[in-house]
């Protein structure tokens, strides 16, 4: 639940006007300057020494034309991991290559694929999670193809492929490059048109495998089941070649995705320059409230030092809005002369493809000094060589952190990465305990392909593609029971031992691999009567970014949303000169539908079960640049978003509440603070990203739910969003809910329930170790009223709740 609390203004630090260029020594010199001036903000440091290359000879059986193409590009030898991949793949083993960014993973799959295409006209299917990566890889293939005059035809097949070109791709393509969504909706349901391709399919390449986790990965695992089923129908049994960033369980994830054992190659032979990593905690600007300077103010300060030192820099921000805000701040310093080319660019999802390609090209050619991006640039799109990588807050996982930091530094060039903590509890835990980050193995990527709703969707899709026969398997669930259910629904018809699809509908069209609802929104600029599409927004983000009155930012240029056509999926905007940005306020209410298991928890109980979630976005705040003060509010009138999922919840017995708290207001603040800490701790406990879990405080019957008001104090709200007084509410049994943030859940609630005791203990430790007086964003959330105003300490109230739920010696 996002609290609609007032955003505190940043306290500006004195600007250093005597900065000298740090070109001498590049990144090393910048590290020295930072440590000289900001030593008290550095809580951890790691230096990874330069690593020499480990080489292996080109394979003796490598096609001479391919070998010649490599030599023409300066490649006389392979790195050791590239040669190991060649040997395994040529031996027919499913393989996953897990080496750092810029270690040459592309050649690991391109070489055996090109070899097979020239040897026996074998086909290959390449899958990338994004269109940008697909286009990047086709360009790489074409360069190698042209260098050796190999005659191998590689084509992109995605939503942008013209209709008249699709037949040529199907019939003439040796290598077809696409994404899981297009395979799911545009290829597998029409496999008869691809018969020639599937009959000769020898290799399937899945790049950036670590991104296929959670709900997306669970869907993709089922798409792979459908792909292999169709391959068997055409007499093919392709070898799968996968590549991934460093994660703790690459073999397990890769095996889960394709349903077969996979061998991992984890030792990189690529050279690497010296890498410096600094952990940076912003200074405290309000000791009583424990408020620190914002991460964005610190990041822009470091970025200014880097750019003045002629060091190319990438800044990662957590949200699209924050990308635009930081871009505005950097442009104000470095792009304030309209006669000069821009040195600063933003890169995020929602920009039109041509604009993203232009930014990528400008980065590769060295025409952009600083790019501010979301995770969209975390993946392996070629953006050339960068010197400095700055992270605005902890990305949520160690794997993502290293993947982003790997964007800076290529070959023997020194680089610097700085992780700047926010006031988020997870950030503060990491920054106060650097050994956790510097010594921790990357997280495990979790998928749950047999999650019933996901599995059922893909059984429907598979039945449309090919009839199911008795005895056939599809995942770990009882397939015949699922087929019988679909028969009852009237979409399948059984004849003897075969189930046939009977509907006219096309089931894959109604199944999204990434989101709950279909249909992106387009942003239409209507300034001065024009009608020009300037951006695209996915459904899940539209409600909080495109409401009427919202300021929508593109490359830090503000547009105001004048009208939102929710049904038509269009937002109409006009250029504005607003000196503020907007941020949506959202409420979450929850109702328990069923409990699967219960256990005592101190003076209460913990439970796991099925819940119904309703999310409402009733309004927004206007926040001024730089001071970050609230300058107004607006109302939002949009449909509620609903879903069923699984959750774990903790509830204290009514008599314990009365014993421990002098008032219900105190208990309410305690539960809100405890929930805040538990949410962030739980993400670490179950090794998930914080956004994979949602949190709420309510009574479980959806009679009321709790939120933090604009005065920084807890409020009760009824179903219609109106306020009510907890002292007057008849039934008062608040509970903390942590729920799986995907419809139906993807398996996070079970391990969370198993570790319920650890969640309480670690949340207690987090709050007790925080050195704030009354509570702060680093432990229990934004607190804007002191204990003198309340009459009690909200920090102590949260501790009291957790102590009441603590079970000594329990799980």
Q: What is the pLDDT of residues 678-721, one digit of tens each?
A: 998 888 777 666 677 888 888 867 677 777 765 556 666 665 65
Q: State how far the Cα of 612 lies from the Cα of 370, in Å rounded to an integer.
A: 44
Q: State how far the Cα of 646 lies from the Cα of 668, in Å rounded to an integer.
A: 24
The answer for residues whose C-beta is within 8 angstroms of residue 279's C-beta and 6 or more apart is: 42, 43, 44, 45, 418, 419, 421, 430, 431, 434, 437
225 in the same domain as 296? no
253 in the same domain as 214? yes
Residue 752 lies in a domain: yes
694 in the same domain as 800? yes
The answer for residues whose C-beta is within 8 angstroms of residue 753's C-beta and 6 or more apart is: 597, 599, 606, 607, 608, 648
281 in the same domain as 217? no
User: Coil, strand, or helix at residue 28?
Assistant: helix
pLDDT of the residue at 783: 59
800 in the same domain as 714? yes
Asked if 448 and 746 count as a contact pair (C-beta separation under 8 A), the reply is yes
Asked if 738 and 613 count as a contact pair (C-beta separation under 8 A), the reply is no
The answer for residues whose C-beta is within 8 angstroms of residue 15's C-beta and 6 or more apart is: none
Asked if 162 and 85 count as a contact pair (C-beta separation under 8 A), the reply is no
Q: State how far the Cα of 479 lies from the Cα of 468, in Å rounded to an integer.
A: 9
347 in the same domain as 213? no
CA dihedral 642→646→650→652, nearest 10 degrees, is 60
Token pair belonging to 553: 């930012």
Residue 145 lies in a domain: yes
Residue 470 lies in a domain: no
Domain count, the chain: 4
Residue 11 lies in a domain: no
Asked if 752 and 738 count as a contact pair (C-beta separation under 8 A), the reply is yes
Residue 457 lies in a domain: no
User: Among residues 811, 695, 696, which one has the least CA distance to residue 759?
Assistant: 811
> Which of 422, 439, 456 corresponds to the end of one domain?
439
Look at the pTM and tell me if it is higher than 0.85.
no
> Which of 227, 250, 265 corresponds to the end of one domain?
265
388 in the same domain as 317? yes
Question: Alpha carbon 598 to chain centroid distance?
Answer: 32
pLDDT under 50: residue ranges of the chain: 1-24, 516-517, 785, 810-811
Residue 231 lies in a domain: yes
CATH number of the domain that residue 337 is part of: 3.40.50.300
The answer for residues whose C-beta is within 8 angstroms of residue 106's C-beta and 6 or more apart is: 137, 140, 243
Asked if 623 and 629 count as a contact pair (C-beta separation under 8 A), the reply is yes
Quick one: 276 exposed, middle or buried, by C-beta within 10 A (0-12, 13-18, 19+)? Answer: buried
pLDDT of the residue at 561: 94
361 in the same domain as 280? yes
User: Among residues 67, 541, 510, which one has the least CA distance to residue 350?
Assistant: 541
Chain segment 339-363, per-residue pLDDT in tens: 777 789 998 877 877 787 788 888 8
227 in the same domain as 209? yes
Strands (E), 57-161: 78-79, 95-98, 123-127, 154-156
Residue 454 lies in a domain: no
Residue 508 lies in a domain: no
Q: Tell me how far CA of residue 545 lies from CA of 521, 584, 695, 714, 776, in angstroms.
A: 11, 7, 21, 26, 27
pLDDT of the residue at 228: 97
252 in the same domain as 147? yes
258 in the same domain as 133? yes
User: Among residues 645, 648, 639, which one has the least CA distance to residue 617?
Assistant: 639
> Which of 222, 237, 265 corresponds to the end of one domain?
265
Asked if 359 and 368 count as a contact pair (C-beta separation under 8 A), the reply is yes
155 in the same domain as 122? yes
Domain that holds residue 368: 26-50+272-439
Chain segment 593-604, per-residue pLDDT in tens: 999 999 999 999
């Amino acid at each position: 639940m996002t609290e609609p609390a007032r955003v505190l203004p940043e306290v500006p630090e004195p600007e250093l006007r005597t900065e000298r260029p740090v070109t001498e020594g590049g990144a090393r010199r910048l590290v020295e300057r930072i440590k000289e001036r900001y030593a008290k903000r550095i809580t951890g440091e790691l230096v990874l020494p330069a690593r020499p290359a480990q080489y292996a000879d080109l394979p003796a059986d490598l096609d001479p034309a391919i070998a010649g193409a490599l030599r023409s590009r300066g490649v006389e030898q392979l790195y050791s991991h590239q040669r190991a991949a060649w040997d395994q793949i040529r031996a027919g083993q499913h393989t996953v290559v897990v080496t750092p960014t810029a270690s040459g993973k592309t050649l690991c799959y391109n070489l055996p694929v090109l070899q097979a295409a020239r040897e026996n006209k074998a086909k290959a299917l390449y899958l990338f999670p994004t269109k940008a990566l697909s286009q990047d890889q086709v360009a790489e293939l074409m360069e190698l193809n042209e260098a050796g005059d190999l005659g191998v035809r590689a084509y992109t097949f995605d939503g942008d492929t013209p209709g008249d070109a699709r037949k040529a791709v199907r019939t003439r393509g040796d290598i077809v490059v696409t994404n899981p969504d297009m395979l799911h909706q545009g290829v597998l349901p029409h496999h008869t048109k691809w018969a020639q391709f599937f009959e000769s399919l020898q290799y399937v390449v899945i790049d950036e495998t670590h991104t296929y986790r959670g709900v997306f990965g669970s869907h993709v695992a089922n798409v792979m089941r459908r792909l292999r089923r169709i391959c068997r129908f055409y007499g093919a049994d392709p070898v799968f070649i996968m590549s991934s960033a460093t994660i703790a369980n690459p073999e397990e994830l890769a095996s889960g995705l394709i349903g077969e054992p996979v061998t991992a190659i984890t030792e990189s032979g690529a050279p690497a320059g010296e890498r410096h990593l600094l952990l940076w905690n912003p200074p405290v600007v309000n000791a009583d409230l424990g408020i620190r300077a914002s991460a964005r103010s610190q990041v822009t300060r470091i970025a200014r030092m880097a750019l003045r030192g002629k060091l190319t820099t990438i800044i990662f921000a957590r949200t699209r809005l924050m990308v635009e805000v930081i871009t505005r701040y950097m442009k104000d310093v470095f792009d304030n002369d309209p006669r000069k080319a821009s040195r600063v660019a933003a890169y995020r999802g929602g920009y039109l493809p041509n604009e993203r390609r232009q930014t990528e090209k400008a980065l590769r050619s060295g025409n952009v000094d600083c790019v501010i991006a979301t995770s969209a640039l975390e993946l392996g799109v070629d953006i050339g060589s960068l010197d400095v990588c700055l992270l605005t807050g902890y990305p949520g996982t160690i794997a993502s952190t290293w993947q982003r930091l790997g964007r800076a530094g290529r070959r023997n060039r020194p680089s610097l990465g700085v992780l700047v903590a926010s006031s988020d509890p997870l950030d503060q835990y990491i920054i106060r305990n650097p050994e956790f980050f510097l010594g921790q193995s990357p997280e495990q990527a979790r998928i749950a392909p047999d999650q019933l709703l996901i599995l059922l969707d893909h059984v429907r899709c598979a039945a449309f593609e090919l009839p199911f026969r008795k005895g056939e398997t599809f995942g770990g669930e009882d397939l015949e029971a699922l087929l019988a259910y679909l028969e009852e629904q009237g979409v399948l018809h059984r004849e003897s031992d075969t189930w046939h699809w009977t509907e006219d509908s096309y089931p894959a069209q109604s199944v999204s691999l990434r989101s709950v609802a279909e249909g992106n929104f387009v942003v239409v600029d209507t300034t001065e009567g024009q009608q020009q599409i300037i951006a695209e927004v996915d459904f899940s983000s539209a409600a909080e970014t495109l409401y009427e009155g919202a300021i929508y930012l593109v490359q830090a240029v503000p547009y105001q949303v004048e009208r939102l056509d929710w049904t038509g999926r269009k937002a109409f905007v006009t250029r504005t000169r607003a000196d503020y940005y907007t941020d949506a306020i959202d409420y979450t209410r929850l109702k328990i539908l069923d409990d699967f298991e219960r256990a005592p928890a101190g003076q209460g109980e913990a439970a796991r079960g099925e819940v119904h979630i309703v999310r409402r976005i009733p309004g927004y705040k206007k926040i001024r640049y730089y001071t970050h003060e609230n300058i107004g509010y607006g109302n939002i009138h949009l449909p509620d978003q609903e879903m069923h999922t699984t959750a774990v919840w903790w509830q204290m017995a009514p008599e314990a509440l009365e014993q421990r708290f002098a008032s219900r207001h105190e208990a309410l603040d305690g539960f809100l603070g405890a929930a805040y800490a538990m949410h962030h701790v739980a993400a670490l406990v179950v090794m998930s990203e914080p956004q994979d879990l949602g949190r709420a405080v309510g009574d479980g019957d959806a009679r009321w739910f709790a939120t933090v008001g604009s005065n920084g104090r807890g409020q009760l709200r009824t179903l219609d969003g109106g306020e009510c007084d907890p002292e007057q509410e008849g039934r008062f049994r608040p509970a903390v809910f942590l729920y799986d943030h995907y419809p139906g859940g993807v398996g996070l609630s079970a391990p969370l329930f198993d570790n319920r005791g650890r969640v309480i203990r670690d949340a207690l430790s987090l709050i007790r170790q925080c050195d704030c007086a009354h509570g702060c964003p680093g432990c229990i959330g934004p607190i804007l009223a002191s204990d003198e105003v309340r009459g009690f300490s909200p920090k102590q109230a949260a501790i009291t709740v957790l102590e009441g739920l603590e079970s000594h010696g329990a799980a």
